[in-house]
Amino acid sequence: MKIYQPNTSVLDDELIDLGDPENLGGKVLAGAPKISARIDFHENGMTAGIFEATTGKVEIHMPFTEHATIIEGEVIITDESGNSHTYKPGDSYFIKQGQVLIWDVQGQRVRKSFFNITQN
């Protein structure tokens, strides 16, 4: 069992570099964000683990449906209607595959636990 709690310590060497945000459907709008993850489960189009993004703003066309909880840092998420919310440790969100949003990390980094599912 994996336990994800706000301010959970995740060692940097547990995370794998995911390369350019464009690899996950993103377009960098500001900064030079780096993304990385630790995959704890992957089976039948479902993936769960820890994700990290460093400072920067990215437009994302969500390639999967996601439920996530922030465990460290903050992120401002703006949806395609212009609605924005700042998510902090302990806050959760749900985003459907295909939605377009702006992911804005203004601090050093944000880490979240996530559960994704990709639908055909």
* Residues in a beta bridge with 59: 27, 102
User: Which residues pair with residue 31 across a beta bridge?
Assistant: 56
Q: How many helices (H) and strands (E) does the chain have?
A: 0, 9
Residue 68 is encoded by which pair of tokens? 């996530």
CA 112 distance to own-chain centroid: 6
Q: Say yes or no to pLDDT of 105 above 80.
A: yes
Of 69, 89, 4, the C-alpha closest to 40 is 4
Would you list the domain boundaries of the chain?
Answer: 12-117
Tokens of 93: 């969100």
Could you read off the pLDDT of 93-102 as tens digits, one per residue? Answer: 999 999 999 9
Give residue 7's pLDDT band: very low, low, confident or very high (50, 70, 90): low
CATH superfamily, domain 12-117, is Jelly Rolls (2.60.120.10)
Instruction: Kindly state the average pLDDT of the residues 39-63.
Output: 95
| pTM metric for this prediction | 0.90
Query: What pLDDT is recorded for position 68?
Result: 97
**What pLDDT was estimated at residue 5?**
74
- Specify the pLDDT at position 12: 80
